[in-house]
Structure 1
Amino acid sequence: MNIKKIVLLTMAVVLMVSCNSGDKGELVGVKGKKWHPEKPYGMTLVPGGAFIMGKSDDDKAGVQDAPTKTATVRAFYMDETEITNSEYREFVYWVRDSILRLKLAEMADLEGKTPGNGDIGEFAYKDAGDPANMTPYESYMINTYGDDQRKINNDPELYFDTADYPDELYAEVMDGMYIPLEESYNGQRTWDVTQFKFQYTTMDIQRAAKDRSLKRSDVINQEEVEIYPDTTAWIRDFAYSYNEPMHNDYFWHDAYGDYPVVGVSWKQANAFCQWRTLKKNSYQKTKGKQPVNKFRLPSEAEWEYAARGGLQGATYPWGGPYAHNDRGCFMANFKPLRGDYAADQALYTVEAKSYEPNDFNLYNMAGNVSEWVHGSYDPASYEYASTINPNVNDADNQRKVVRGGSWKDVAYFLQVSSRDYEYADSARSYIGFRTVQDYMGTEVTLNAIGN
């Protein structure tokens, strides 16, 4: 068969497919799944728009790090509250249980245990005992890339009560998850939280876009982060101060479940965002739905825009210029009146959904806890940052921006334009975070002409 006949045959096949598709030979595009935007639980939609970013009043502190400029941001979803202890504990438990299941699977594999006997074998790898349990794809991946591709079994319930342990091998694995017996305190053994490490992979798209000579492997970063909050921050942050009750109870006790998590570093906050994305997209996959945009920390511009709640030139999320209303009630949780922590009816943090929200329905955008954002602190960054979706995050600059002020700060740091920073690996008893997710589409804007 010559080339001419092959070409004619190919054209005939293409035309036949086109005729059978119902498009009458017209260019109609690939039809994907029907998609509708879905507001994430606990988040509010912040419409995109332009605003005056920076200090609109005199810079009384003389920092000169936030000159005014017009900035425009795209629409995004933002958590209505700071991430709470209860929400962060879900992350911690997920990591703990995943590590525990992996160790149980490894022990079952080492001892040749398989499901069906009511012992540790119930937690064996999915492919254990019967290769027929694997799909051809799973079999290929394991044979090609090794045991790292084996799937742990998430079906059986984990046992935490020692009376329920199915056998001694299970007890041995559990024993290794706790601190050594000789280090137990008051007869209580606690989890060895240094084992709670979350591993994830990121791609440095900014670097890849700027240097096209790089290979894909050059911009893939493997991360491993210990994710348990540093509860000792309550003691280290305040010398000669009695804060042991907060150290002992604040993170794990249900009494503080709805309070903002603290003692979390910038790196841990980013790890939480990665896990939250993984959690949601795992669910989306089981339902045959498209994946959602990743959860992440807000940029400085997004945070300030959201904190202003649509108010141009305001000092605080509620407007201002004062930190109290016309009845003399304080509008946020901070340190007023020359250091009277109790004047605002709170000595430390308050519940994440406290005080009145701003006009975007966001709570505590001023006070309670300062919040990590996805930006590095440079006093001059406003001078050179873009005016559309401005964001300055230098991987070599470990000074990461925190915004909003906290329960231990004076009113100046509560201003929506005030900037502060902490080092990325530091954890403080007054710094938490909230997450955002990009909105797909461009039609949601706050100050569009005609609105």
Structure 2
Amino acid sequence: MKKLLMLVAVVAFLASCGKGDRGQLVGVKGKKWHPEKPYGMTLVPGGSFIMGKADDDIAATLNAPAKTVTVPSFYMDETEITNSEYRQFTEWVRDSTLRMRLAILADDEGLTPGDGGTGDFAFKDASNEDPSVWEQYVEDNYIGLGETGYEGRQLNWDEDLIWDTEDIPDEYYAEAYDSMYIPFEEAYNGKRSVDVEKLIFRYSVKDIQKAVKNPGLSRKEFIKTYITKIYPDTTVWIRDFNYSYNEPMHNDYFYHEAYSDYPVVGVNWMQAKAFAQWRTLYHNGYRRKQKGRDDVFPYRLPTEAEWEYAARGGLEGATFPWGGPYAKNDRGCFLANFKPLRGDYAADQALYTVEADAYEPNDYNLYNMSGNVSEWVNSSYEPGAYEYMSSMSPIVNDENNRRKGVRGGSWKDVSYFLEVGTRDYEYQDSARSYIGFRTVQSYVGTDVTLNAATN
């Protein structure tokens, strides 16, 4: 037995030779990394800054004492996420929901692409008459064993969905199509709309903090699955303001093309995080079709420190993204969309929101970091957080604290809330007509810091 083991070891050693490394330590080569600036984002060079109130704490909140912190480089959306961009998310969820229903019907009825009609939307494996060893292994050991029974089965995205009722091919497609819309008795003015309650996005994340603190747990104990209804709450325009006629905004703001470039509102913290997860999934789905390309780093909400660092635009101790201390320029023009002059909303040339790229950007080319809509951040609101959080890439996010940070002030706020050091919050399941968000992505590659850029 010893001779056999020695022989195996020698063969294994000899087999490792001849790879071109000449027995040298050359490291393992992974997939080629092709760094790219995400569309619509700008690179914020990392560095240190003084976080907190730059001026006197006139509101006496005592929640933002000055603290020097350092953040790494990251990409950030140049504008708030717009209605058009968020509609891309809702329409993708709508389409994937219909495709799933069609695939399930095809599976139940034993239909395959060769049958045409609904069969064209069958699961990818439905017509796989000669599966590979791996495909057969996955089918035998995984498919049908999950929570829904359809985990591991791929939808067919190659076929175009049919939305014109005149072209519906068969009764199964008609059934799936009808299930996506509100009932006829709930329609008005002869128009049926998609039942937005059906637009649900499901995703899973690893709770790294829980895993680190509980090393004995199995992997499945710290994988969390979230199921989120993702359509914006358009009723916020009515609920946020009593005795105010805002029905046109309720009816048109999210879906009408006139508002496509305006920031999305009516999105709670959980929906904003779901959008970031979908954006990651959507981007990686494209990259995986190109052989040898690695996944991108996840899109996410910014931490409170990242948001404030980016909002300052490299200006140390500034009150606003443009400096300050005033909200007007030297010609008397307002520099952001907010509530000036004791409620003269139109004095800044805007009544509600404005286009996401309105007004001048700060020195990092970021628009409306103050005003227009407040923005969700990936941090819990803790009044004393600055006292104990780390000075290196700080974040305080307690899943049991439902109060989440919002920063930047909005179209309905006075200038105090536009100050880059002002902190505010809203409950994570609350949607408002004045809260939106933008996303960030960690920068990977050659170090880029503000200090290096200025030396």
- Normalising to structure 1: TM-score of the pair? 0.96
> Which residue identity does 1:270 align to in structure 2?
K
Cα pair 2:236 2:433 within 8 Å, conserved = yes
Task: Tell me the equivalent position of 2:135.
Answer: 138
| Superposed CA RMSD | 1.6
**Residue 228 (structure 1) aligned with residue 228 (structure 2):** no
Confirm or deny that 1:159 pairs with 2:162.
yes
CA deviations on 1:191-232 (whole Å, 9 max, x unpaired) are 111010000001110121122222212111111000000000
Q: Cα offset for 1:36?
A: 3.6
2:103 corresponding residue in structure 1: 105
One-letter amino acid of the structure 1 residue matched with residue 141 of structure 2: T
How far apart in 2 are the matches of 1:81 and 1:197? Answer: 26
User: Cα offset for 1:133?
Assistant: 5.9
The whole-number CA distance in structure 1 between the counterparts of 2:340 and 2:220 is 51
Q: Is the 8 A contact 2:371 2:409 kept in 1?
A: yes
Give the distance between the partners of 2:411 and 2:453, measured in 1 at CA.
Answer: 39
State the alpha-carbon separation in 2 of the partners of residues 303 and 397 from structure 1: 20
Amino acid at match of 1:268: Q
Query: Hey, what's the Cα distance between the residues in 2 that align with 1:33 and 1:142?
Result: 28
Match of 1:214 among 213, 217, 222: 217
Task: Work out whether 1:10 is the aligned partner of 2:9.
Answer: yes
Q: Please name the residue that 2:153 is paired with.
A: 150
Q: How does 1:359-374 map to 2 (within 5 A)?
A: 359-374=363-378
Give the deviation of 1:234 after TM superposition.
Answer: 0.6
The residue that corresponds to 1:56 in the other structure is 54
How much does 1:450 deviate?
7.0
- Whether the aligned pair in 2 keeps the contact of 1:367 and 1:407 (CA below 8 Å) is yes
By how many angstroms is 1:346 displaced? 0.5
**Equivalent of 2:78, from 77, 80, 83?**
80
Distance 1:166 1:322, change over 3 A: same
1:178 pairs, out of 177, 181, 198, with 181
Deviates more, 1:359-368 or 1:6-15: 6-15
Q: 1:263 aligns with which of 226, 250, 266?
A: 266
**Secondary structure of the equivalent of 2:441?**
strand
Amino acid corresponding to residue 395 of structure 2 in structure 1: N
State the match for 1:409 in structure 2: 413
Paired position in structure 2 for 1:384: 388
SS in 1 for 2:450: coil
Query: Which residue is equivalent to 1:343?
Result: 347
1:140 CA displacement: 2.3
User: By how many angstroms is 1:74 displaced?
Assistant: 0.5
In the other structure, the counterpart of 1:205 is 208
CA contact (8 A) 2:117 2:169 kept: yes
CA distance in 2, matches of 1:32, 1:87: 33
| Alpha-carbon spacing, 1:355–1:134, altered in 2? closer, same or farther (3 Å) | farther
**Whole-Å separation in 1 of the counterparts to 2:136 and 2:249:** 50
Match of 2:336 in 1: 332
When structure 1 is superposed on structure 2, of 148-157 and 60-69 the one drifting more is 148-157
Q: Decide whether aligned partners of structure 1 residues 267 and 16 sit closer, same or farther in structure 2, where only a CA change above 3 A counts.
A: closer
Q: Secondary structure at the match of 1:246?
A: helix
Q: Is 2:203–2:225's contact at 8 Å kept on the other side of the alignment?
A: yes
* Alignment partners' CA distance in 1, 2:162 and 2:453: 60
- CA distance, structure 1, for counterparts of residue 199 and residue 155 of structure 2: 17
Q: Please state how far the C-alpha of 1:173 moved relative to its aligned partner.
A: 1.4
Q: d(CA) in 2 for partners of 1:440 and 1:313?
A: 28
Deviation (angstroms), 1:112:
2.6
1:109-120 residue pairs with structure 2 within 5 A? 109-120=107-118
Preserved contact between residue 49 and residue 448 of structure 1 (Cα < 8 Å): no
Determine whether 1:421 maps to 2:420: no
Equivalent position amino acid for 1:191 in 2: V
How many residues align? The count is 448
Aligned in 2, Cα 1:299/1:442: closer, same or farther, shift over 3 Å? farther
Indicate the residue corresponding to 2:442 in structure 1.
438
Equivalents in 1 of 2:229, 2:208: separation in Å? 25
1: distance between equivalents of 2:395 and 2:24? 43
Aligned partner letter, 1:174: Y
The reply to whether residue 125 of structure 1 matches residue 128 of structure 2 is no
| Offset, 1:374 | 0.2
* 1:217 alignment partner AA: K
Q: Quickly say closer, same or farther: Cα 1:393–1:293, change in 2 above 3 A.
A: same
Q: 1:355 aligns with which of 355, 359, 370?
A: 359
The alpha-carbon deviation at position 68 of structure 1 amounts to: 0.3
Determine helix, strand or coil for the equivalent of 2:426: strand
Question: Match of 2:251, as an amino acid?
Answer: N
| TM-fit CA distance, 1:134 | 4.0
Q: In the alignment, is the contact (CA less than 8 A) between 1:127 and 1:133 conserved in 2?
A: no
Aligned partner of 1:286 in structure 2 is 289
Query: Is contact 2:32–2:294 with CA below 8 Å preserved after alignment?
Result: no
- Report the residue type matching 1:267 in the other structure: M
Q: Percent identity?
A: 65
Query: Which sits farther off after the overlay, 202-211 or 336-345?
Result: 202-211
The TM-score normalised by the length of structure 2 is 0.95
